[in-house]
Amino acid sequence: MSLEPIDIDMTENQIAGPAWDLSCEYESVTSQELKADLDRLSELLHEAETHNINFQGNSAVGSAQTLTKLREQASTLLANVGTYAHCLLSVDSQLEDAQKLNGELQNFYKRFGDVFEPLSQFVDDADDDTIAEYLADADIAPSAFLVLRSRERAHENLSLAEESLVNGLSQDGIHAWGKLYNQLAGSLTCQVVVGNEEQEMGIAQANALMSSADDHQRRAAWLGINEAWSAHDESTSASLNAISGWRLEMSKQRSRKQEIHFLDAPTHMNRISRKTLDTLLDVAFRAKPLAQKAARLQARAYGKEGFGPWDLRAPAPVLSAAEGGRDAVGVPFTEALNLIADAYGQVDASMADFVRMMAQNKWIDGTTGPRKSPGAYCTGFAKSKTPRVYMTYTGGQSDTITLAHELGHAYHSWVMRDLPDSQKSYGMSLAETASTFGETLVRDMLLERAGDKQEQLNIMWEEMSALTAFLLNIPARFEFERNLYEARAERPLRPQELKDMMTSAWQNWYGDALAEPDPMFWASKLHFYISEISFYNFPYLFGYLFSLGVYARRGAAGGDFFRQYVDLLRDTGRMTAEDIAKQHLNADLTDQAFWLATIDSLERRVDDFERLLEALGV
Ligand SMILES: [Zn+2]
């Protein structure tokens, strides 16, 4: 397929990416349009407040319908201004005006939550006939999926007064423990040997050293981090005990009508059933020997018997010149974008057009700058229904992959842009479908075009690192967290018990593929301390295997694939994962067969990696 080169306003061979243009949303933070949106938002919230007063008796359905429409309008404005502030602050965290705007928005978020809470309660608690009447309104009918999903858990609701009490107390309860952890992680320093001298540095900085190419450096960073956390093991374990204890107590309180389990909330939020989760973990267990083999091969490439926990983010080893290695040269942004357009275009020409359009409309920020926030993300403006991609592009191969990943998210939102707002949000389990799909397309093209063995090794290496992270590390985290909840139901756990529990979870999954476990991982991993969400682990495993499953269908579905793919993406906000798989992939997620087909495709990739190492004489 021939593709037009991308015409964007920048020097052809410049490495760094372009700056995005946000002026089509608002000229500036102090612009009239922005002020008008906030004024309108205030009016809408005020109107909703007055409607809340008649929220009972015969007029309840009418009030609920009016409030729902007000909520949709208000949330569009709030999200639009919020995205604008967030985008500005990502590029320059010191921007005073944007900081002030963000502060102002905090009050709006709180007010928004308070104003519409009675509506949420009404929708959950009303009887079926009332809800049928409520959903009969043509503007509200599209939200049926969300409404009915929320009502499935209505039996967990406490009284309005109790919910309000729990909400109030949780700020200085569960959320305070989460904040304590974040503050600790942000202020903790550790001692790390760099070169010949010991340096004091923050945890984040030491963490970055764990992706160093230098063996000793990675190990020194890991030792430093663990020593720092060990010194705080009492306060950290108190935090973990409090967070899990709070959730268990809440589960008990919410079990008045029907017994609930600590896995009910996370699976419901991810729109998967407990049976699907069980199937997923059974499949991961069956794939364990394959993942362990990948980990052992990676260790072998470094000339080691087994990797240490400090090696999990090690880069591909650099081959000597004789083995086909060469100095890395940065890839200009335009070249990366053209490559992504080529790869996306293999599925359908319109996908290549989309990639080019993102650049032409200046919807991507790939600049570098001292005050830019780290990381990459995709966001979107609710009013114009247009996506934006943010990253720092410096020309490395991983930057091409990151760009492909974020453009996948952007594509997902693009194909959903004409849907009602109530059908646009999806659970984390399906959120990574389009991004991982885009990433895999680009990785496969890079592999096809790899000029030498070093490039091949770099790409396959990242694949193997992802495979072991998703199929060994994530299940180990899940196993630890599940065991934690079960044991915590009896009594709080001592730091040594948490270490033992983490050690056994690591040994169970990594086996002898790892030289030693990471006993302090319960303290060093932020994900266990997110007070808003529990089990921030299995959705990663689901997303990884599900998106590869979709990718594997590409060949089999032939010319029909593109239409099927877009239909699948468009349904992510209005169906459960099981229903989506049934309808668009003719697959049953509670059956191992669908997942095992993906594991088979991964087995071929591990074999390719082994062959490459053999060819290199490793
Ligand atoms: Zn993503």
Residue 295 domain-assigned (yes or no): no
CATH number of the domain to which 123 belongs: 1.20.140.70
> Which residue segment(s) compose the domain that 437 sits in?
333-451
Measuring CA to CA, how many Å separate 132 from each of 13, 123, 126, 137, 347?
A: 60, 11, 10, 9, 41
Q: What confidence score (pLDDT) does residue 375 get?
A: 81
Identify which of 480, 500, 473, 535 has the alpha carbon closest to the alpha carbon of residue 312: 473
Give the tokens for residue 339. Answer: 């490559």
Cα 413 to averaged position of ligand 1 atoms, centre (Å)? 12
Distance between CA atoms of 420 and 427, rounded to whole angstroms? 17
Residue 58 domain-assigned (yes or no): yes
Cα 407 to averaged position of ligand 1 atoms, centre (Å)? 10
Query: For 36, which DSSP code?
Result: H
Q: What confidence score (pLDDT) does residue 324 get?
A: 57
Question: Strands 197-202 and 189-194, how do they pair?
Answer: antiparallel
Query: For 514, which DSSP code?
Result: B
Q: What confidence score (pLDDT) does residue 428 get?
A: 86
Cα 459 to averaged position of ligand 1 atoms, centre (Å)? 19
Q: What confidence score (pLDDT) does residue 325 get?
A: 54
Q: Is the pLDDT of residue 7 over 50?
A: no
Identify which of 390, 402, 401 has the alpha carbon closest to the alpha carbon of residue 363: 390
Identify which of 254, 279, 300 has the alpha carbon closest to the alpha carbon of residue 545: 279
Q: Which residue would you say has higher pLDDT here, 503 or 195?
A: 503
Cα 115 to averaged position of ligand 1 atoms, centre (Å)? 32
Average pLDDT of the segment spanning 571-589: 96
Distance between CA atoms of 66 and 64, rounded to whole angstroms? 6
Distance between CA atoms of 409 and 432, rounded to whole angstroms? 7
Q: What confidence score (pLDDT) does residue 328 get?
A: 61
Q: Looking at 399, 428, 451, which one is the last position of a domain?
A: 451
What share of the chain in percent tops pLDDT 90? Answer: 78
Cα 433 to averaged position of ligand 1 atoms, centre (Å)? 9
Cα 572 to averaged position of ligand 1 atoms, centre (Å)? 15
pLDDT in tens, 16-43: 899 999 999 999 999 999 999 999 999 9
Cα 440 to averaged position of ligand 1 atoms, centre (Å)? 13
Q: Is the pLDDT of residue 456 over 60?
A: yes
Q: Is the pLDDT of residue 11 over 60?
A: no
What share of the chain in percent tops pLDDT 70? Answer: 95
3-state class percentages of the chain: helix first, strand second, coil last, to nearest 5:
70, 5, 30
Cα 38 to averaged position of ligand 1 atoms, centre (Å)? 30
pLDDT in tens, 472-504: 999 999 999 999 999 999 999 999 999 999 999
Give the tokens for residue 37. Answer: 């949106």
- pLDDT-based confidence at residue 321 (cuts at 50, 70, 90): low
Residue 41 domain-assigned (yes or no): yes
Residue 312 domain-assigned (yes or no): no
Cα 436 to averaged position of ligand 1 atoms, centre (Å)? 7
Identify which of 575, 513, 60 has the alpha carbon closest to the alpha carbon of residue 311: 513
Give the tokens for residue 113. Answer: 């939550």
Q: Which residue would you say has higher pLDDT here, 15 or 75?
A: 75
Cα 254 to averaged position of ligand 1 atoms, centre (Å)? 33
- pLDDT-based confidence at residue 326 (cuts at 50, 70, 90): low
Distance between CA atoms of 72 and 61, rounded to whole angstroms? 17
Cα 439 to averaged position of ligand 1 atoms, centre (Å)? 10
Residue 566 domain-assigned (yes or no): no
Cα 380 to averaged position of ligand 1 atoms, centre (Å)? 14
Q: Is the pLDDT of residue 59 over 70?
A: yes
Residue 238 domain-assigned (yes or no): no
Cα 284 to averaged position of ligand 1 atoms, centre (Å)? 21
Query: For 258, which DSSP code?
Result: S
Cα 181 to averaged position of ligand 1 atoms, centre (Å)? 25
Q: What confidence score (pLDDT) does residue 4 get?
A: 45
Residue 359 domain-assigned (yes or no): yes
Residue 70 domain-assigned (yes or no): yes
Give the tokens for residue 213. Answer: 């190419």
Give the tokens for residue 463. Answer: 């694949």
Q: Hey, which bits of 348-501 come out as E strands?
A: 364-365, 377-381, 386-390
CATH number of the domain to which 337 belongs: 3.40.390
Q: Is the pLDDT of residue 352 over 50?
A: yes
Cα 103 to averaged position of ligand 1 atoms, centre (Å)? 27
In the three-class reduction of DSSP (H, G, I as helix; E, B as strand; rest coil), residue 336 is classed as: helix
Cα 529 to averaged position of ligand 1 atoms, centre (Å)? 21
Lowest mean pLDDT among 165-174, 271-280, 350-359: 165-174
Give the tokens for residue 94. Answer: 């010191």
Task: Report the mean per-residue pLDDT for the chain.
Answer: 92
Q: Looking at 114, 138, 157, which one is the last position of a domain?
A: 157
Number of domains in the chain: 2
Q: Looking at 451, 467, 497, which one is the last position of a domain?
A: 451
Cα 382 to averaged position of ligand 1 atoms, centre (Å)? 19
Lowest mean pLDDT among 389-403, 469-483, 494-508, 597-611: 389-403
